[in-house]
Amino acid sequence: MKFIIQRQQLISSVQDVMKAISSRTAIPILTGMKIEAKSNGITLTGSDSDISIESFIPAEEDGMINADHIEEGSVVLQARYFPDIVRKLPEKTVEIEADENFNVTIQSGKAKFNLNGQDANEYPQLPKLQTENSFEIQSDLLKNLIRQTGFAVSTMETRPILTGVNIKVENETLSFTGTDSHRLAAKSIPLGGVNFSLSNIVVPGKSLNELSKILDDKGEKVEISVTSNQILFRTKHLHFLSRLLDGNYPETSRLIPDHSQTVLHVKRKELMDTIDRASLLAREERNNVVKLITKDHQSLQITSNSPEVGQAAEEVSIQSIEGEDLKISFSSKYMLDALKVIENDDVVIEFTGAMRPFIMKPANDDSVLQLILPVRTY
DSSP states along 186-199? EEEEE-TT----EE
First to last CA, the chain: 70
What does the angle CA 332 – CA 359 – CA 305 come to, to the nearest 5 degrees? Answer: 25
How sure is the predictor about 286, in pLDDT bands with cuts at 50, 70 and 90?
Answer: low
The stretch 252-276 carries a mean pLDDT of: 94
Nearest Cα to Cα of residue 129 among 32, 207, 226, 214: 226
For residues 330 and 149, the answer to whether their CB atoms sit within 8 Å is no
Question: Which contiguous run of DSSP H or E holds residue 208?
Answer: helix 205-214
DSSP states along 55-82? EEEESEETTEE-EEEEE-EEEEEETTTH
* Category of 374 on φ-ψ map: left (φ > 0), alpha (ψ -120 to 50) or beta: beta
Does pLDDT of 1 surpass 70? yes
Model pTM?
A: 0.93
Please name each of the domains of the chain with its CATH number: 2-122 (3.10.150.10), 134-253 (3.10.150.10), 256-372 (3.70.10.10)
Residues 6+ apart with CB under 8 A from 21: 30, 31, 32, 33, 46, 47, 48, 79
Determine the pLDDT at residue 209. Answer: 97
What are 143-161's pLDDT values in tens digits? 999 999 999 999 998 999 9
